Structure 1
């Protein structure tokens, strides 16, 4: 198959109908070079081909309608691709979207129209799905990613060590295996449908039971996988624990299980040390604040009595010393400032009254027997009494008991430290703790996983019982009905064919993968620099995981390759797929050289482009395929064009010839 012509209208910067002609050479092979600066529209060409072949969602397409035309209300976009099949049939596919006549078009207004012209005659496309199936069968969408690719696709394949595994479905399609698998599944589906057809019960009943069975089988598979994962995880922790225990015993000459006693002793030692420190701090505080006063603790009662006696004596003596003046003042107050008696007292009466008052005031006079020892002022006496009370309420009087308690604690701590010192030296303590923590952590994980594993096993038993019950119910349903010989033979034949196809798939996959290995390695050796690291490679015929071997035969990761080697390897894999698939499709490459060094670029231009496919369309900037590479490539070209983007008009136009041609 080859592309003859592509027309783009009103898509991105292609405002007006733009036609790309891809001339063919008389020899059969053709290479067409399209040049353009970044932003000129090279990627739009590849997008246009994909949209024309497979369609697009209106909301996505609406965003890329030319802005000038859309602002005028012209919500119209179209693509047309003319191609020639391997049977020399010319097919024109025209696909367009239009919102009709509306002032403010929206993406919801876009309606798709498909026109197919075969050998000059328009084909009815009332059944658009049928023609889309025809297009998909002619150019499978899952395969085109290996024929229409850009630098990003190369980067995706070169990205990591397992990128090809993620492409398994597409690789199966490219190698032709996907369709055979689908055929085998379709045959099994026909068998199931046939079995449903001759059962007297309704199809709904059988579908319900079989869906129940599939649901339980999926649960069973999931639980078994979970059990396997847990079992592996459990074994890993057991091995880690056993290894730590053996190392522990080899170093410390004791079993790791006895370390629990050591741990308890260490915990108790820390607790006792903390308590001893607290007592020591308490003793220091008592010594600093109260010890000098506490020495006189037995004299506190005598001191307090002496202070009270001296206070009382001082009060009485003060009162007696002023008794005569007080007596005279009291008598004078009887008449001054106003008399409080009717008849004033005579001088004799006043003298008698003063004597009586004086006797009353002096009757409590201290006998003078109190000996003043302390002779404190009232303020100093109050300070002494407060200090005595503060000392009596403190724990200083318990100092002897605290000292004794601390001595007992220190003795117990020394005993524990002596027993611990025999278990491990200080230099080994860190390793001791590390191994002990590892063993305890593993034991915790083993317990946790064991519980989960037990629960999962119980769930598996329940599910298996349920599956057997459902299978028995289904078998009983089928046994209730007579099956005709013809249908029974048909079902048996379906099984036989499906088994043969599955066997064929296994063999075909191995053969295809072997060819893919050879073709990929062949192109890699051709494209790689002289110092290419890859000597051989193997592709897993089940997972498609690629194992790379270096010049010494050692396995190496793809990530170990340089950026250039990775991309060369990715290009080689794409070429290998194209060769292995045996599909004669055009190859479109967008900006393939931007990330390569000069040596790899030389090899790509001189060896890959001329041999990549029967028809190759290269989309490049002036710095990728530059003037030197253009000279090397020019003998193989059947044509060249360049895209020119006007920043003033925001329009891309096509000009004949490359940048220097």
Structure 2
């Protein structure tokens, strides 16, 4: 894989679109050299590659937008990288950030957009995460630190005795072990998923459910036989009933009453008989209590008149007996206590007035005084109370009650009598026998019909139960089959996981062994004291590096000089690139700044030309100076220079190194 073109726009000092092209190289030419003084934008070039491939947070992008453009309200940032794959396909990755039409853009306003174009055609992926997965598949993010690095990364690896242990996951990614480990873990997750909600169905479970099915089927057969027996018996009684019915029709030439009609007639007979009995009791009660008095009811009015007449006569006699005294009292009242006339009455007038009053009072005594009842007031009250009681009682409606009773008697006789015209005793006896037979048959038919219904419901219940059991049994058969399959899958997962773990162990050992060889091979080429280290070992579990001196004694990396440490770090990076077998470009930023001349010579002569098929070096004029430039010239596919204008705060790229 090779990078063919990088375009940076509005990022840091790259105010305007800046294009850096990486030309194809002829045989033996693998290095593209980019020169630049400190602050010219060399680090920005490496950052642009990483940001274009993997993106960045809006806050970081906003922080490094070119200040002049941001002051104008322009928050558009763009990175574009053209890649040529080993299969000679062209992949164009373009990632941009824009705030749209916002006047004063803020970090939250930035919206990221990613476009991937393959051989001139846009990749048919709509989801940005899937686009990113596509890029990560080409250039895994976890290992780029071993291909795109600067002096700081070299210093980090060279910093202490155990730095490589902390890089274990990245080292495994670079060696290809991480993916096999992830595959093994995925297999274990698959195994766990298979175990979730997994219930193993045994042969005993199947046998138990089959036994339950057989028991229910036996119950069904028994109930069906019982239903057939009842049906046969029911049909016999229906046949007997039809025979009796036909004999009845032949004898009386009419349809016999149905059971419902008979019940209805009997119900009506009971109602009429009950009502007639109630009327008879009512009539009897009235007769017992009021009939003698009721017979004399025509005398009630004359009796009441005679009582009133004798009451008036008695009152008149009482007035007559007191007439003289009353007349005197009335006349005396004319003058006493005061005269009612202006001229008092004379004695003669008083006497005449008294005689007149007495005559009036005597007239009240002129009524017929014939009396034959001569009842006391108490007896009169008793007689009048009894008359009132009789008049308010039902005795006067006795005639209507007797008429209603007679009507009920006629209705009852009609209901009890035969409407079929049965006259002789023999016909009546035959009628009753046939009626009893039909009623008996109907009772048996009703009883058997109820039993038939109950048994039919039992049959239906058992049939439904059998269907449920058959369904459960089919599910058990299916689960039993799936259970076996799941057991097989789980076993296969275990087998595959064990095989992968064994493979990982062997792969790690092989990779680590190869890494040891490649690292030590490069170290011997680069070190000024190659004879100081006799051998090195890398632990295949912890990745801890053990260095041994020429006497075979273990020595710590911290015992090396600063330059030797950096040489060792570069050797390890080269060993990783060789061992990973990933054909990726290597980008190195300011790699020689901390090295002495001997180590620089070794790196320039031995490392740069063989580091990878494409090596992009970002250097100052003091690192790759004129002498080193001439040394590398035969390996250069091209060179360029970053120039920074202090006045315009602008970085530009031009072809040609510092001296050409």
* Structure-2-length-normalised TM-score: 0.57
Range that drifts further, 642-651 or 189-198 = 189-198
Q: CA RMSD in A?
A: 1.6
Rounded to whole Å, the distance in 2 between the matches of 1:647 and 1:534 is: 48
Cα contact 2:93–2:115 (8 A) shared by 1: yes
What are the Cα deviations for residues 546-572 of structure 1, in whole angstroms up to 9, with x where unaligned?
000112211111111001000000000
1:151-300 to 2 correspondences below 5 Å = 151-199=151-199
Pair 1:605-2:637 in alignment: no
Cα contact 1:114–1:125 (8 A) shared by 2: no
Rounded to whole Å, the distance in 2 between the matches of 1:121 and 1:613 is: 29
- In structure 2, the CA distance between the partners of 1:499 and 1:29, relative to structure 1 (3 Å rule), is farther
Q: 3-state DSSP class of the match of 2:8? A: strand
Rounded to whole Å, the distance in 2 between the matches of 1:53 and 1:27 is: 28
1:645-656 to 2 correspondences below 5 Å = 645-656=644-655
Pair 1:490-2:483 in alignment: no
1:123-134 to 2 correspondences below 5 Å = 123-134=123-134
What are the Cα deviations for residues 436-464 of structure 1, in whole angstroms up to 9, with x where unaligned?
xxxxxxxxxxxxxxxxxxxxxxxxxxxxx
Rounded to whole Å, the distance in 2 between the matches of 1:481 and 1:15 is: 70
What are the Cα deviations for residues 302-322 of structure 1, in whole angstroms up to 9, with x where unaligned?
xxxxxxxxxxxxxxxxxxxxx
Cα offset, 1:522, TM superposition = 0.2
Rounded to whole Å, the distance in 2 between the matches of 1:504 and 1:197 is: 31
Please name the residue that 2:641 is paired with. Answer: 642
Please name the residue that 2:568 is paired with. Answer: 569
Please name the residue that 1:407 is paired with. Answer: none
Rounded to whole Å, the distance in 1 between the matches of 2:27 and 2:92 is: 24
Cα offset, 1:482, TM superposition = 9.1
What are the Cα deviations for residues 600-658 of structure 1, in whole angstroms up to 9, with x where unaligned?
00000011000000000000000000111111011110100000000000000011100
Cα offset, 1:62, TM superposition = 0.7
Rounded to whole Å, the distance in 2 between the matches of 1:192 and 1:646 is: 62
Cα offset, 1:481, TM superposition = 9.5
Please name the residue that 1:24 is paired with. Answer: 24
Larger radius of gyration: 2
Rounded to whole Å, the distance in 2 between the matches of 1:564 and 1:71 is: 45
Cα offset, 1:536, TM superposition = 0.6
1:541-552 to 2 correspondences below 5 Å = 541-552=540-551
Cα contact 2:523–2:530 (8 A) shared by 1: no
Please name the residue that 2:105 is paired with. Answer: 105
Please name the residue that 2:148 is paired with. Answer: 148
What are the Cα deviations for residues 383-410 of structure 1, in whole angstroms up to 9, with x where unaligned?
xxxxxxxxxxxxxxxxxxxxxxxxxxxx
Rounded to whole Å, the distance in 2 between the matches of 1:164 and 1:622 is: 32
1:91-490 to 2 correspondences below 5 Å = 91-199=91-199, 484-490=483-489
Q: Which runs of 5+ in 1 are unaligned?
A: 201-479
What are the Cα deviations for residues 47-88 of structure 1, in whole angstroms up to 9, with x where unaligned?
000000001010111100100000000011000000011111
Cα contact 2:5–2:20 (8 A) shared by 1: yes
Q: 3-state DSSP class of the match of 2:603? A: helix
Cα offset, 1:153, TM superposition = 0.3
Please name the residue that 2:274 is paired with. Answer: none
Rounded to whole Å, the distance in 1 between the matches of 2:78 and 2:5 is: 14
Cα offset, 1:486, TM superposition = 1.1
Please name the residue that 1:444 is paired with. Answer: none
* Structure-1-length-normalised TM-score: 0.57
What are the Cα deviations for residues 410-456 of structure 1, in whole angstroms up to 9, with x where unaligned?
xxxxxxxxxxxxxxxxxxxxxxxxxxxxxxxxxxxxxxxxxxxxxxx
Q: 3-state DSSP class of the match of 2:196? A: helix
Rounded to whole Å, the distance in 2 between the matches of 1:142 and 1:531 is: 31
Cα offset, 1:130, TM superposition = 1.2
Rounded to whole Å, the distance in 2 between the matches of 1:498 and 1:105 is: 52
Cα contact 1:532–1:565 (8 A) shared by 2: no
Q: Which runs of 5+ in 2 are unaligned?
A: 201-478
Cα offset, 1:29, TM superposition = 4.6
Rounded to whole Å, the distance in 2 between the matches of 1:532 and 1:33 is: 32
Please name the residue that 2:86 is paired with. Answer: 86
Cα offset, 1:137, TM superposition = 1.5
Aligned length: 383
Cα offset, 1:533, TM superposition = 2.1
- In structure 2, the CA distance between the partners of 1:581 and 1:642, relative to structure 1 (3 Å rule), is same
Please name the residue that 1:616 is paired with. Answer: 615
- In structure 2, the CA distance between the partners of 1:540 and 1:527, relative to structure 1 (3 Å rule), is same
- In structure 2, the CA distance between the partners of 1:530 and 1:543, relative to structure 1 (3 Å rule), is closer
Please name the residue that 1:11 is paired with. Answer: 11
- In structure 2, the CA distance between the partners of 1:187 and 1:29, relative to structure 1 (3 Å rule), is farther
What are the Cα deviations for residues 558-611 of structure 1, in whole angstroms up to 9, with x where unaligned?
111001000000000000000000000000000000000000000000110000
Rounded to whole Å, the distance in 2 between the matches of 1:592 and 1:658 is: 17
Rounded to whole Å, the distance in 1 between the matches of 2:506 and 2:569 is: 26
Cα offset, 1:138, TM superposition = 1.1
Please name the residue that 1:595 is paired with. Answer: 594
What are the Cα deviations for residues 494-538 of structure 1, in whole angstroms up to 9, with x where unaligned?
111011000100000000000000000000000111565222100
Rounded to whole Å, the distance in 2 between the matches of 1:501 and 1:574 is: 27
Q: 3-state DSSP class of the match of 1:484? A: helix
Please name the residue that 1:460 is paired with. Answer: none
Cα offset, 1:28, TM superposition = 6.8
Cα offset, 1:488, TM superposition = 1.3
Cα contact 1:13–1:41 (8 A) shared by 2: yes
Cα contact 1:29–1:613 (8 A) shared by 2: no
Rounded to whole Å, the distance in 2 between the matches of 1:111 and 1:58 is: 8
What are the Cα deviations for residues 131-190 of structure 1, in whole angstroms up to 9, with x where unaligned?
211111210111000000000000000000000000000000000000000000001101
Please name the residue that 1:247 is paired with. Answer: none
Cα contact 1:198–1:483 (8 A) shared by 2: no
Rounded to whole Å, the distance in 1 between the matches of 2:659 and 2:88 is: 35
Cα offset, 1:10, TM superposition = 0.3
Rounded to whole Å, the distance in 1 between the matches of 2:12 and 2:144 is: 23
Cα offset, 1:125, TM superposition = 3.6
Please name the residue that 1:65 is paired with. Answer: 65
